[in-house]
Structure 1
């Protein structure tokens, strides 16, 4: 009788130890990694999310927006610094990204109403496109009228820390980032709020 009670007690203690070790291991896996991660929209679905390192927070408000020169969809040269003195919404997108598709009508509506106060620059992440013609087809079909530079060699992903699409920056008249970076689709009201808080 005592042997059975002892064996049962020993078994329960061993099970408890195993459970405790599993819990500790899982806690270490989620909190003890070298890098913390943040959930970001990767553009793979309308709900999509991916994991990016915590240091990928992008250019912080108060920092200068890196200048660049790209060719636009119309074949003209576009340089960001030429817009110094204007408020700029700088958006990174590609044509088959569901969250990008979701926000584009909102961006166009906002641009229609505020183009005298704010310039919208929608940089196409061209390396993610299936074919170059998809960009023009998308812009034409949806009657978008804002500027569309083409980042054909993915030269802006690093300086602008673009890990997911859409990614948007808000640049003030002084050429600095003036609002936190936005990852994921925007609506009209959000853009209005961001721009009203800019100089």
Structure 2
């Protein structure tokens, strides 16, 4: 056992002893939270459970801050070693993920103690980015680019594929869903070989990436920017993997999302790369028909309004749904339209979709149905579609246009 190992153990023991009472209370409160979650799962009062859980989280957060305060005081007086760097990383992640973290200034002071070599380590870079967040590329903006390497060491950039779509896949071998997505990524790379390039970007270090690539051979682009979670990972605002970014042939971000479910990748690509249908207005039997209405939010959603028909008795929406095959979607009975005058128009009935129930998507992951709402005024220029003001995470489509 080396002297450095002993010093690291002594440092860790010093941290534990400094906050012994706080850690005991933290563990006790955490067990209470687990008990609350079990109660909720067994049919307990959800609102009451949520209120109690929020109260417990506030207490555990306060304890975490007290522990951090003790640790920071010790770190300022201690030599820098691997354990010290590990604690700095934990503090840095608190800065990154907690808004208004009270010890950001102190974490900056600890970071300033690092020498140049320590600042260039993965932890050093992660803490720097936590303290100085990069500008995250948003949908519709120019894609972030950087030097990336293939297994032979050749340098690549996204700009090589200008004129083609790019599907960027952030992955690592320790991520089960990342590995599950690979057969579908292979299919996509072959289906769209003339118009799209798949780039799997490992977030592991060089050694880990090279070892992973032996077990998970890729017929598509297998690159690494050698920055782990500090390079393009940070520029695209990735919080978890797998994470996918779809980039247009013009180099703009089309969509960005996390997670994987079988079939969903192909559906996302199909929907995003399909030729955009022009908005068209026609009159039929005195009724206004708006085909493929433009909307303020142009990002592909689960629900696409394909046609709006304005009649004296109803506003008719013909909807195309695209979602994970064999997963369910649901529309609440409180779904309504809100006109450009701010007036709400309720849902009257539906065809091809059971409102208020779980409706499972077919194997294709696509379905069509029709919704009937109270009639909008004839002079309505645009409206919003909302699943209900009190439906958490409900569908919302903004600015559906009825005029050119």
Aligned equivalent of 1:134, options 207, 211, 215? 211
Q: Which runs of 5+ in 1 are unaligned?
A: 1-21, 32-51
Over residues 95-115 of structure 1, what are the superposed CA-to-partner deviations in whole Å (9 max), with x where a residue is unaligned? 231111111111112212211
Change (3 A) 1:94 1:72: same
Contact 2:170 2:233 in 1 (8 A): no
Cα-Cα RMSD: 3.4
Equivalence for 2:11: none
Equivalence for 1:183: 258
Q: Which has the higher contact order (CA 8 A, sep 6+)?
A: 1
C-alpha distance in 1 between matches for 2:50 and 2:180: 41
Q: Alignment partner of 1:178: what SS?
A: strand
C-alpha distance in 2 between matches for 1:136 and 1:28: 46
Change (3 A) 1:175 1:96: same
Question: 1:59, CA displacement in angstroms?
Answer: 3.6
Could you state the TM-score of these two structures normalised by the residue count of structure 1? 0.64
C-alpha distance in 1 between matches for 2:166 and 2:223: 14
1:39-188 to 2 correspondence within 5 Å?
A: 53=97, 59-127=137-205, 131-140=208-217, 144-154=218-228, 155-179=231-255, 181-188=256-263
Q: Which runs of 5+ in 2 are unaligned?
A: 1-48, 59-95, 100-132, 276-404
Q: Alignment partner of 1:158: what SS?
A: helix
Change (3 A) 1:54 1:61: farther
Could you state the TM-score of these two structures normalised by the residue count of structure 2? 0.34
Equivalence for 1:34: none
Contact 1:92 1:122 in 2 (8 A): yes
Larger Rg computed on CA atoms? 2
Question: 1:91, CA displacement in angstroms?
Answer: 0.6
Tell me how many residue pairs correspond in the alignment: 155
